[in-house]
Amino acid sequence: MSERAHRGSDAAGTGSAERSPLEALEGARRRFEEADQRIADAGGDAVAEAAEAYRDATELLEEYVDRATGTGRENFKAYVELEGRFDSLVSELPDNLKGYEAFEEALDAIDKRRLSESDFERAHEALEPAARYAELLEEREAAREAIDEARTTAAKRRRELVDEISERERLVELGEADLEAPVEELREPIDAYNEAIETAFEEYRVEASAREVFELLERSRWYPFVDYEQPPDDLATYVRQDSAGEYTIPELLEYANYSRSKLEHYVSSADELKRRVATQQTFLDGIDADPLTIPWPPSEAGALRHRVREIRPFVERIAGEDVVANLRSVRRLATDPEFEYDRLQTAAQAVAQLSPDERERLADGRVADELESLRDERARLEEALEVEDPI
């Protein structure tokens, strides 16, 4: 792009950082329309012909400026080539070509037996009247690229708006919650179950072999709501194949701190146990009941029912009937038509999630105003993006 067209591009983009994506897209379209109109006013297709001739002429000058200046034989040979090629270019131009005289004057500037850099500069200056036609096309192409860039930015903003609108809608929903609702009716059964499963799991850890616990972890792969971290492959293989896997996890962790001589009384290979277990103490310590608990505040009724359905086989495997009964009580919260689960769950979410600032913004109507503004912005962006732009 020429310097003049580049300046025009910069000017058209001034302040774009402060403009919204929609304003940037509309501005880019106006820029294209104006550039296209200037081309039409200057002659339409004739502008493209003049621009092509200008580019061909300047390329010739740039190709020979170093080779055709000087006094040597090769310089003279290059000069003859340049003059012949430039003369052919000008002679083939139609007489009615826009800026035709500029090409003749440029030819006159290099019509000498010996050329210097100043002669090339005069030829470039002579072509200046024709340069405007190339600049018109360059500006229109720059405007087209600006439209593409603005469309990309606008589409990105539209995707962002989905999340922002969803967040404001969540706040509005939480703001409509009954903050005086008796959420303890929901929390007490969940707390009772969580405490029971945590106690039961601690007992399970000190009774079940490491191999059995790892089988439980392996089974959880097929249950998305039972999010246990899987053991490293080398540790899993060791527990599965070595007799040490018959010990409980607390025992293995204890043995990992024994001296090798003392450890030889408990396992077939002290080095192997230290290599496999001692390096994985953090992982082994982290195996607990957390993936089998019900988070507070709880999720929506459908998600809670699904979670309970997935964790129940694991609870039945490691805990007694009393803990399973606690879990059934939690499930009934989300299935009993007499229990106002949705109302209490929403209230619990509101109490847990709404910050003081969010409550204030909800109370004075700012969140509602933001939601309306975001929806309006999304609608206008979608309308703008439906417009077909020049390719």
pLDDT at 68: 66
- The rounded distance, in Å, linking the Cα atoms of 112 and 345 is 92
Tokens linked to 100: 């035709």
- For 112, other C-beta atoms within 10 Å of its C-beta total 11
Does 190 share its domain with 260? yes
pLDDT at 375: 96
- The rounded distance, in Å, linking the Cα atoms of 316 and 326 is 11
81 in any annotated domain: yes
- The rounded distance, in Å, linking the Cα atoms of 386 and 212 is 59
368 in any annotated domain: no
- The rounded distance, in Å, linking the Cα atoms of 99 and 208 is 93
CB 130 within 8 A of CB 99: yes
Query: Phi-psi bin for 108: left (phi > 0), alpha (psi -120 to 50), beta?
Result: alpha
Does 347 share its domain with 248? yes
Tell which of 108, 133, 151 closes a domain. 151
Cβ density class 207-231: b for 16+ within 10 Å, e for less: ebbbbbbbebbeebeebebbebeeb
Q: Which residues contact 165 (CB under 8 A, 6 or more apart)?
A: 371, 374, 375, 378
Does 119 share its domain with 246? no
Query: Does the bond joining 390 to the residue before it have cis omega, within 30 degrees of 0?
Result: no
Q: Where are the alpha helices (DSSP H) in the chain?
A: 3-13, 21-42, 45-64, 73-91, 100-109, 117-126, 128-175, 184-207, 210-219, 233-241, 249-255, 260-263, 270-276, 281-285, 301-318, 321-335, 341-353, 356-363, 366-385
Check: pTM over 0.85? Answer yes or no: no
- Maximum distance among all Cα pairs of the chain, rounded to whole angstroms: 109
CB 386 within 8 A of CB 162: no
Does 20 share its domain with 98? yes
Does 289 share its domain with 337? yes
- The rounded distance, in Å, linking the Cα atoms of 146 and 26 is 10
Does 122 share its domain with 194? no
325 in any annotated domain: yes
pLDDT at 63: 75
pLDDT at 7: 41
For every residue of 165-189, DSSP letters joined together read: HHHHHHHHHHHTS-TTS-THHHHHH
- For 65, other C-beta atoms within 10 Å of its C-beta total 18
300 in any annotated domain: yes
Does 138 share its domain with 194? no
Report which of 53, 135, 43, 39 is spatially closest to residue 94, judged by C-alpha positions. Answer: 53
Domain count for the chain: 2
Does 343 share its domain with 249? yes
Tell which of 130, 151, 172 closes a domain. 151
Expressed as residue numbers, the domain containing 51 is: 3-151
pLDDT digit string (tens) for the chain, length 391 residues:
444 444 444 444 444 457 899 999 999 999 999 998 888 887 777 777 778 777 877 777 777 677 766 666 766 777 677 777 877 777 777 776 766 677 777 777 777 666 667 777 777 777 777 778 888 888 888 999 999 999 999 999 999 999 999 999 988 888 887 878 899 999 999 999 999 999 999 999 999 999 999 999 999 999 999 999 999 999 999 999 999 999 999 999 998 888 888 878 788 788 888 888 988 999 999 999 999 999 999 999 999 999 999 999 999 999 999 999 999 999 999 999 999 999 999 899 888 888 889 888 988 999 999 999 999 999 999 999 999 888 7
pLDDT at 15: 45
Report which of 144, 161, 167 is spatially closest to residue 381, judged by C-alpha positions. Answer: 161
281 in any annotated domain: yes
305 in any annotated domain: yes
Does 291 share its domain with 214? yes
Does 134 share its domain with 226? no
pLDDT at 136: 86
382 in any annotated domain: no
Residue that the structure tokens 């913004």 belong to: 361
pLDDT at 116: 64
- For 325, other C-beta atoms within 10 Å of its C-beta total 11
Does 102 share its domain with 210? no
88 in any annotated domain: yes
Does 92 share its domain with 226? no
User: What DSSP character marks residue 113?
Assistant: S
Q: Which residues contact 334 (CB under 8 A, 6 or more apart)?
A: 301, 302, 304, 305, 308, 341
